[in-house]
Chains A and B, each alone.
Chain A
């Protein structure tokens, strides 16, 4: 009996390993693949209607985020629910709509879409397009680490056109769910 369990243990561990491996890789895969579906929805939608990237989705693309220096070209989804963030960066509903006057806040996972924030430097360019095709260029101006409850700086509207990107911090933490967030503030070229 003892021997039997001993024999089975490596197999059980292997199955568990495969399961975790599958789940883990699936998160990355999903994050990558969904962007293609979203891109299709983005092409399809006209100026007024929202096209969902897949029929049962509860979100839709609202902006395109381009960071040339880091080869980033992503579609931003409406809302920052867990569902939206699994597939792309999410636009915070209560913040200004992309490219218009005010503070636009976008959040994404630190280990998928916003892993590039780690390498983002002051002075670099971020371009945002809205559904109508309006374009606005922002320059990275400042970055901070804040507690997730600490939203004063994030909500502050100091410039006419402001883009705030937020993700979890530290970037290389193994476990999710920490209290810290890394926040990047970019300001539109037109108003510096």
Chain B
């Protein structure tokens, strides 16, 4: 009996060994055999995983971003809080916003507080005041490095000081050094903003949303501290301090923790008879002062989960058609001009247009990307109207056009197109230039409007050549780029859309396809004015931003800022209204005098220069121009900061200063929208193989025993 058992044991071992050896051998052999095949299909295995990417729902349950820090004795301290008081003064199209942040220090030590907070992307931050006790210290604008140096020096000298820096167009940090134990320092920031308008809807947004960013309590394996390089300039930088693994959740959940309080008041002087004023997401108190003026106060002072958004409408009879604001500043005239284009009702039917879809079917689109692209394309085709004509061009190593020339979107042609799209697979290289050339070449000149919708992940290396191609061949066409996949080359696509006088949209995952394509098509279907140019007599001294005025789509107002010396009495604005030329003369007399037009002009100029700075690979000459404009107009920019220093030292030297980073939060625009999928199914497959092998072997064993 024992002999049998021994035999069986040996049998089991050798069989297992043989099995594994054989299996590996065959597996590898099969793989080699399949190699060319699988190589060609790219990494179907690896990228297939994306399909089932779960959306992390529970992250959005987190509501507040309060940080905790480990103190020297091993305890955890909640960081000091920042109370924010916001006053928004709206006068016609302009809004002046005052944000007061009070840094409270409830501890018994001296502290430095750092607060990251979002502001609207177009905010022109031009003022900083620091309130220490009853004294108010004015901030000065300096080049970023200089401001930082002044601040650091004051900090180490024990002086109370504050610094406002721009991290991104919509994200700022305020730092306050040497807050005394139990004391508070208030930082008052002011910025200027233009009200956004679509037809008769006026709106203003103040960012309050606190979106969580970090997974609580994830352990970092390596935490050997070599040196703490982290500067304190960034709250996001220190969310996980070097001893991250010792920290219990860096994000406190729920509302029981003390959140940063926000109070908000809006003084609305619309300049016209108000019909309705609404706060979209927050309960407010409204006081009607007269027909044109209201006062709105936020009722609940807790920081919200959504941005504050105020919307108002004019009474139908008093809807403004145009607006003019002027200022004389440092010897120059500045003007802000707004104009509502005429309604396109009368000609809506007559705009025939041609839509060309260009779709990337190269190997890098394999997996989820091509699925998304196909879905987007099918959805796009569905949006076509009877009178539209269309075509589809696919490209990888070669390009292929569905029709020789664009065809009417009738039933038969749409059927052909649907089949063509369904049959698209991703393989091969990305030869983009021939496809774009083909799209431009098919231009049938009798048609008015020509829109090219370009779906790709932008996986190319010859960007400059393509920009040149777009610029030279664009003519009447407009190029709209649609980014697909987890990390598309958004840099390329943004710029391509700019050269193509269109816009860029990004589809992050399959569930977004419908919404994003619909938004794009709503825009594409309702173009109002194209080829807009300004004709103005004082061209020598004129500096207008934006320099080339983009096409206007439905309900968008025309808006630009001018600087001239002096401003002429009138200007002519011309463009194309559908296929018909359109022109209007605008008087530049009168208008409202305002102290902030020059600031808005400078902000637009900086915005345009920043675009150019990015396009031209961070050219130092452009950087210098940005610094110059920002310093002249007292504006915070990527290269300039506001700094305020109290001359008298407050903190006795020798006492320690510890830094606190106070979590604000923001959902910021960025280069990389999402991290790619970075795991293969290899280990899962190997495990599966082992399990199958084992069960196969055991079954066989059972059978032989039975026999």
Contact = CB atoms under 8 A, between A and B. Distances in A.
Contact of A150 (B213, B219, B230, B367): B213
B678 to A, nearest CB: 4
Contact of A94 (B430, B672, B686): B672
Nearest to A37: B39
Contacts of A118: 221
Contact of B679 (A6, A80, A111): A111
A27 B220 contact: no
Interface residues of A, number: 96
Interface in B441-498: 457-459, 461, 485-492
Interface string A7-41: 10111111011111111111111110000000000
A86 B46 contact: yes
A176 B240 contact: no
A22 B28 contact: yes
B227 A123 contact: yes
Interface in A137-182: 141-156, 158, 166-169, 173-181
Contacts of A112: 680, 682
A60 B461 contact: yes
Nearest to B39: A54
Contact of B215 (A28, A58, A146, A174): A146
Contact of B703 (A10, A52, A183): A10
A76 interface: no
Given A78-B459, A158-B237, A174 B684 contact: yes
Interface string B155-183: 00000000000010000000000000000
Given A27-B682, A122-B224, A82 B618 contact: no
Contacts of B56: 147, 149, 179
Contact of B618 (A79, A101, A154): A101
Contacts of B167: 156
B678 A109 contact: yes
Nearest to B669: A155
Interface of B is mostly: loop
A80 B486 contact: yes
A154 B239 CA distance: 13
**Of A18, A59, A121, A178, most B-chain CB atoms within 10 Å:** A18
Nearest to B213: A150
B367 A82 contact: yes
A59 B459 contact: yes
Given A16-B692, A20-B685, A141-B229, A108 B678 contact: yes
Contacts of A87: 43
B487 A148 contact: no
Interface residues of B, number: 110
B362 interface: yes
A176 B31 contact: no
A120 interface: yes
A85 B46 contact: yes
A78 B363 contact: no
A27 B30 contact: no
Given A94-B487, A148-B674, A177-B54, A17 B225 contact: no
A114 interface: yes
Interface in B665-707: 666, 668, 670-693, 695-697, 699-700, 703
B670 A151 contact: yes
List of 5 A-B pairs having minimum Cβ-Cβ separation, nearest first: A82-B47, A86-B43, A22-B27, A24-B685, A58-B363
Interface of B: 19, 23-24, 26-28, 30-31, 34-35, 38-40, 42-50, 52-54, 56, 59, 167, 213-215, 218-227, 229-231, 233-234, 236-237, 239-240, 242, 244, 362-367, 369, 396-397, 427-430, 457-459, 461, 485-492, 618, 666, 668, 670-693, 695-697, 699-700, 703
Given A17-B688, A24-B27, 14 more contacts: A13-B695, A20-B689, A24-B683, A27-B46, A27-B680, A56-B39, A81-B457, A83-B42, A92-B672, A119-B222, A145-B215, A152-B668, A175-B684, A178-B679
22 contacts: A9-B699, A18-B23, A23-B685, A24-B681, A24-B686, A24-B688, A56-B39, A79-B489, A92-B676, A94-B489, A95-B671, A95-B672, A107-B487, A121-B226, A144-B240, A146-B675, A147-B214, A148-B53, A168-B677, A169-B218, A176-B677, A177-B50
